[in-house]
């Protein structure tokens, strides 16, 4: 079933790509980041993309230009900037203007009256302001006639080599609320945030019998050619290495060259620190004299993943917008450097054919802000099943 979608706050297009892989057709997209818009247009040339603040968009004019009647759109997608909701944000204010962007999403809901909607964000929105933002979103959608369901999903459960939790709110005007996708891969991870015990998807050891094994870093990136810190090329050949996993093969499908396989430079002090960090270790392996000044008084239980070098058999942590070892485990398991842009894209399950534009810092930002493609694909398939089962024809059977 081909779904007609609109993607607001689309970024570089992680959700759009996942929906495209599931057979959906995005009609319109919007984002305010110029580099993200360039990347989106390059990879989705058939989609009308307006680059600018959503506050400046005329929802009525857009609907008329697309020749869509109210109630005809299958899915309205939105993933507003999450920095104001994130538990990793240095300051969290209910008054943060980024937290009011969902009001502009509601303008599009009112204008298009979509059959279903997808609202995506970070789990931190559950606790911000005592949960008032979250409750407001649900109540506003229910007032508009939608049956709503909220779950916190783990990307690793859908074949993404990353421990990344996302709040996924689904709603429908057609019968019951849409079901969230069932996990396809097994990974045991305890959510450590509010709501983890209630609406986060968790698995038990028995699930290993029916689910695939989680995708590891070895599966995800070990087939990529080696590069040095500060090296790599924007366009390069794959070289003589061959894919070592079905995941690597799937990422290469449709791509004859490798894009964005470039790494950040490392300062001398970070090279000195890295020499003491074995795979699976982090900042506590660094001699005290080499630690940053702000970390010399830290307890060993603090900042556990800073300056981390992951092991091949592990999963990556949440890909952030900066590939900076001071903020997370971004050292390569087998090479003395941080991840390349392409490696972070692989970890976010973007196919190798997906090219990111702009300076390298902007490329890392686009990848880090994206929703993992395979997670989006699983959600798209779930919504397609819901819509197929709630058409008038299906209800008469």
Q: Give the pLDDT confidence of 280-330 residue by residue, as tens digits.
A: 999 999 999 999 998 998 888 877 889 999 999 999 998 989 999 999 999
Give just the sign of the alpha carbon dihedral 309, 311, 317, 320.
positive
Number of other CB atoms surrounding residue 145 within 10 Å: 10
Task: Please count the helices (runs of H) and the strands (runs of E) in the chain.
Answer: 12, 11
Q: How many Cα atoms occupy the beta-carbon half-sphere of 296 within 13 Å?
A: 7
Question: Smallest Cα–Cα separation from 368: which of 333, 343, 385, 394?
Answer: 343
Q: Of 82, 189, 323, 396, which residue is the catalytic one?
A: 82
**pLDDT (0 to 100) of residue 131:** 78
Sheet holding 75-78, edge to edge: 48-51, 25-31, 4-8, 75-78, 116-121, 165-172, 147-154
Question: Where does the chain hold its CATH 3.90.120.10 domain(s)?
Answer: 217-369
Question: Where does the chain hold its CATH 3.40.50.150 domain(s)?
Answer: 4-208+373-389
Give just the sign of the alpha carbon dihedral 105, 91, 123, 127.
negative
Determine the Cα–Cα distance for residues 288 and 301; give it in Å rounded to an integer.
15
**pLDDT (0 to 100) of residue 342:** 98
**Residues 98-148: tens digit of each pLDDT:** 556 778 889 999 999 999 999 999 888 888 777 777 888 899 999 999 999
Active site residue 82: yes
- The stretches in the chain having pLDDT less than 70 are 82-100, 392-397
For residue 356, count CB atoms less than 10 angstroms from its CB and return exposed for 0-12, middle for 13-18, buried for 19 or more.
buried
**pLDDT (0 to 100) of residue 310:** 94
Class of CATH domain 217-369: alpha beta
Class of CATH domain 4-208+373-389: alpha beta
**pLDDT (0 to 100) of residue 132:** 78
């Amino acid at each position: 079933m081909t779904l007609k979608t609109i993607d607001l706050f689309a970024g570089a297009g992680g959700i759009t790509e996942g929906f495209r892989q599931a057979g959906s057709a995005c009609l319109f997209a919007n984002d305010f980041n110029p580099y993200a818009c360039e990347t989106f247009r390059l990879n989705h040339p058939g989609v009308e993309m307006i680059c600018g603040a959503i506050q400046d968009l005329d929802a009525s004019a857009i609907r008329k230009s697309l020749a869509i009647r109210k109630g005809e759109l299958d899915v309205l997608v939105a993933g507003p900037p999450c920095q104001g909701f994130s538990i990793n944000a240095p300051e969290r204010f209910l008054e943060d203007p980024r937290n009011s962007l969902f009001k502009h999403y509601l303008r599009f809901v009112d204008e298009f009256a979509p059959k279903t909607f997808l609202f995506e964000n970070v789990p931190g929105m559950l606790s911000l302001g005592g949960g008032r933002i979250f409750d407001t979103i649900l109540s506003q959608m229910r007032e508009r006639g939608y049956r709503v369901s909220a779950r916190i999903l783990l990307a690793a459960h859908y074949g993404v080599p990353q421990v990344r939790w996302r709040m996924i709110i689904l709603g429908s005007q057609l019968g019951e609320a849409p079901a969230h996708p069932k996990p396809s891969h097994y990974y045991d991870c305890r959510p450590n945030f509010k709501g983890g015990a209630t609406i986060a998807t968790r698995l038990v050891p028995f699930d290993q019998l029916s689910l695939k094994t989680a995708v590891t870093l070895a599966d995800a990136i070990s087939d990529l050619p080696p590069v040095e810190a500060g090296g790599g090329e924007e366009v390069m050949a794959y070289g003589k290495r061959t894919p070592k996993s079905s995941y690597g093969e799937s990422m290469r499908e449709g791509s004859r060259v490798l894009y964005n396989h470039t790494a950040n430079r490392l300062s001398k002090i970070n090279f000195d620190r890295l020499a003491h960090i074995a795979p699976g270790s982090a900042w506590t392996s660094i001699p005290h004299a080499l630690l940053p000044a702000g970390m010399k008084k830290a307890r060993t239980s603090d900042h556990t993943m800073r300056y981390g070098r992951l092991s091949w058999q592990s999963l990556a942590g949440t890909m952030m917008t900066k590939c900076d070892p001071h903020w997370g485990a971004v050292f390569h398991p087998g090479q003395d450097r941080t991840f390349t842009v392409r490696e972070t894209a692989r970890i976010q399950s973007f196919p190798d054919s997906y090219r990111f534009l702009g300076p390298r810092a902007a490329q890392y930002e686009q990848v880090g802000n994206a929703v993992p493609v395979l997670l989006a694909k699983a959600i798209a398939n779930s919504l397609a099943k819901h819509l197929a089962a709630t058409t008038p024809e299906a209800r008469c059977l």
